[in-house]
Amino acid sequence: MNLVTSVPLPAMPEADTPALLVDLDRVERNIERMQSACERRGLAFRPHIKTHKLPQIAHMQLRAGAAGVACQKLGEAEVMADAGVADIMLTFPIIGAVKASRLARLAERVRLSTVADSEVGVRGLSQALAEHGGEVDLLVECDTGFGRTGVQSPDDAADLAELAASLPGLRFAGLMTYPTQAQTAEWIARARAALAERGLQAQRVSGGGTATAFDELEGGEVTELRAGTYVYGDRACVANGTVPLDSCAAVVRATVVSRPTAGRAILDAGSKALTSDPAAGADVAGFGLVIEHPEAEIYRLSEEHGHVDVSRCERPPRIGDVVSVLPNHACVVTNLYDDVVVHRSGVLEGVWPVAARGLVS
């Protein structure tokens, strides 16, 4: 069963394989769908640009009604500022004087919000901002169950908020968490109470993640949603039901370069074109879905070779055939390509540099 129309891209050097292709018609539909879903629930929407790293798509998201963008690296935020994005949230703890100073300079030219989960982080930001004479909105990052960054209890959140509110250069703005989960609302409610005891208020509570973006639980305590992967979709999104297969907008085009046996095909897309990432949370095998041959399985990756089991294909691909691979995880794949080939339902629109990739930090 093939649910995705193959993209008949014109043969041209710009699209020689392997190449990352992005369908702007589908991107627009995905943007519209998420923006509407947030607006229906009264949530501000802040798309995460780590997925596409493209100023052009950031502006499409903003034109559709986004409150601003989220970035995961300072370098991404600088590229977005250069491209005219006016409201940027950096959702990664900035540590060290070099980066804090860069952040302070960035705050001079955009409305900037950022996060911290430690006293070291809060004091470092404050010092750099005080030196530069700027201010940012500071959200305290809360670990509401994921087990990554974030303070570990509502009381710790309130203590760190109190410190931030007392220091120059920082406006305490609220709380941030990732991803929004079933227990997040209760955690945030307790943090609000702890903040109130200290005379503070979380005006913004920023939650995130494509996987839970359409769940009812996003309501309640969260005021703002961040999501990135929804804009492209990928094999994990298809598996968890957040993006249908026929809405997935980014595929890796690859050529069958060898058919050494009846059951094996080799693509010119390996771990340097698809990454070794699994489809997170999905019970699907292999390193991507070959859209034209859904019975095939990319069972192994060399750096430049994709090893495909085609033994279950009725009409297996031949040497020279070009296929479209839906990646397991779109965000890490974007990060491999200097350029993406953008089109609208197969009609070439251009080749865009992935402006925010490859940055040192």
Q: Longest Cα pair distance anywhere in the chain, in angstroms?
A: 71
- The one segment of 25-33, 81-89, 90-98, 244-252 that binds its own copies by CB under 8 A: 90-98
Size of the site for its own copies (CB under 8 A): 62
Of 271 and 311, nearer to its own copies (C-beta) is 271
Per CB under 8 A, 281 contacts its own copies: no
Per CB under 8 A, 13 contacts its own copies: yes
- The one segment of 15-23, 200-208, 209-217, 239-247 that binds its own copies by CB under 8 A: 15-23
Per CB under 8 A, 14 contacts its own copies: yes
Smallest gap, in angstroms, from Cβ of residue 250 to its own copies?
15
Task: Choose which of 264, 295, 346, 348 interacts with its own copies (CB under 8 A).
Answer: 264
Are 248 and 237 in contact by the 8 Å Cβ rule? The answer is yes
Per CB under 8 A, 18 contacts its own copies: yes
Rounded Cα distance, 305 and 53, in Å: 26
Of 172 and 287, nearer to its own copies (C-beta) is 287
- The one segment of 125-133, 167-175, 239-247, 263-271 that binds its own copies by CB under 8 A: 263-271
Are 280 and 263 in contact by the 8 Å Cβ rule? The answer is no
Q: Calculate the alpha carbon distances from 186 to 214, 221, 262 in Å.
A: 19, 8, 56
Are 188 and 205 in contact by the 8 Å Cβ rule? The answer is yes
Per CB under 8 A, 111 contacts its own copies: no
Task: Choose which of 215, 258, 285, 345 interacts with its own copies (CB under 8 A).
Answer: 258
Rounded Cα distance, 239 and 236, in Å: 5
Q: Which of residues 120-139 bind its own copies (CB under 8 A)?
A: 120-121
153-187 residues labelled b (16+ CB within 10 A) or e (exposed): ebbbbbbbbbbbbebebbebbbbbbbbbbeebbeb
Per CB under 8 A, 10 contacts its own copies: no
Residue type at position 192? R
Per CB under 8 A, 183 contacts its own copies: no
Of 1 and 262, nearer to its own copies (C-beta) is 262
State how beta strands 204-208 and 224-227 pair.
Answer: parallel
Find the helix or strand (DSSP H, E) in which 142 lies.
strand 136-142
Backbone angles phi, psi at 45, to 5 degrees: -115, 130
Applying CB under 8 A, the residues found at the interface with its own copies are 11, 13-14, 16-19, 50, 72-73, 92-96, 98-99, 117-118, 120-121, 143, 147-152, 255-261, 264, 266, 268, 271-272, 275-278, 302-305, 307, 319-320, 331-332, 335-339, 358-361
